[in-house]
Amino acid sequence: MIIFGQRGNNIGSFESNGSCEYCNNEGTQQFTVYGKYAHVFWIPTFPLGRKAFSECTHCKRTLEKKNFPPKLLNQYNTNKGEVKRPVWHWSGLLLFGLLVLFIAFAGKPA
C-alpha cells in the first residue's frame, strides 16, 4: 500500500512599502508565499507550485496573486526573489536518486 498526497507550507513572507488600495494606509502590505509539494509516505518528493497572498496589516484585507491590482503585482514581482523554495521539498527525489546509485554500484564486482 502506497500512501501519497500533497501538502503545503509557508515558505516565506516579506513586507512592502506600498499602500493598501482599500484603506489607503502606507507600508501595511505583507506578502506571504506558500509552497505545495507531493509526498510519498510523508516524504516530500517534488514541488507542485506556489501561491502568493497579500494582506494589509491594518484592515486585514487579503488578496490572492491572481487578484492583485497592477501596482501590487509590480511590488510582488520586484520582491519575490527574497522567497526561495526549500531544498527539503526535493528530498524524496534525492533519496530515490541515491538509492538508484547504491543499487547500481552495489551489484558491480570490485
Task: Determine the Cα–Cα distance for residues 30 and 3; give it in Å rounded to an integer.
Answer: 36
Residue the block writes with cell 493598501? 20
Domain ranges in the chain are 4-106
Note the pLDDT of residue 52: 92
Q: What residues form DSSP beta bridges with 32? A: 13, 53
Instruction: Select the more confidently predicted residue: 109 or 59.
Output: 59
Note the pLDDT of residue 28: 81
Q: How do residues 48-73 score in pLDDT, each as one tens digit?
A: 988 999 998 888 889 899 998 888 88
Q: Which of 60, 78, 51 is CA-nearest to residue 22? A: 60
Q: How do residues 19-43 score in pLDDT, each as one tens digit?
A: 888 888 887 889 999 999 998 888 8
CA distances from 34 to 27, 47, 51, 100, 101 (A): 22, 11, 5, 31, 32
- 15 φ/ψ angles, rounded to the nearest 5 degrees: -100, 155
